[in-house]
Amino acid sequence: MGIITIAEVLERVNEFERILAEFYANLSQTSTREGVRLLTDYMSRHRQRTLEALAKLPTKQMRHIRRIPLRYDPQGGADKHCFEGVDLPPDATAAEVLDTAIEFDEDLIRFYRHVLQHTGNREIKELFESLIRREQNDEIEMKKIKAMDYF
């Protein structure tokens, strides 16, 4: 069991989302399907939406939360390994892209839940519960888009 600060946990999330944004941006540029290009362009901005959500917290509160130690180093979820083996070709369908996006959302949700399981701190719980709700809402939106077969 290692000790890690919430700042380090959030840095992992930030790095995961940076790689995710790059993944979607690359797919948007190489896709042979217009609908997939539009979809992945939108999805590449997920990181920005997360940063905006975190920025809504008062600065003083966020500085305090970031310094809180977590006596457990959460594994999985928001790491580079969940990108291994994910290879969407330029002719991937929107449904394939959405399935992949849903998997990434689920990985991030699992990661956030690992953090929740190992903290008793109310502020950390509230923060990560709100991040889970955001990801769950994002996942629901992805499933709705897939069900509508809009792209």
User: 40-54: per-residue pLDDT in tens?
Assistant: 888 888 778 888 888
Tell me: the pLDDT tens digits for 42-101?
888 877 888 888 888 899 999 999 999 988 777 655 666 667 778 888 888 889 999 988
Instruction: Report yes or no on whether pTM surpasses 0.75.
Output: yes
Q: Domain ranges for the chain, please list them.
A: 4-148
d(CA 79, CA 16): 6
Task: Give 117's strand partners.
Answer: none
148 C-beta neighbours (distance < 10 Å), count:
8
Residue-level pLDDT at 78: 60
Residue-level pLDDT at 131: 93
Please name which of 141, 52, 55 lies closest in space to residue 101, comparing C-alpha atoms: 141
Residue-level pLDDT at 76: 59
**Pairing mode, strands 4-5 and 69-70:** antiparallel
Residue-level pLDDT at 48: 83
Task: Give 69's strand partners.
Answer: 5
Average pLDDT over residues 98-119: 90
Residue-level pLDDT at 113: 92
The CATH code belonging to domain 4-148 is: 1.20.1260.10
Residue-level pLDDT at 8: 92
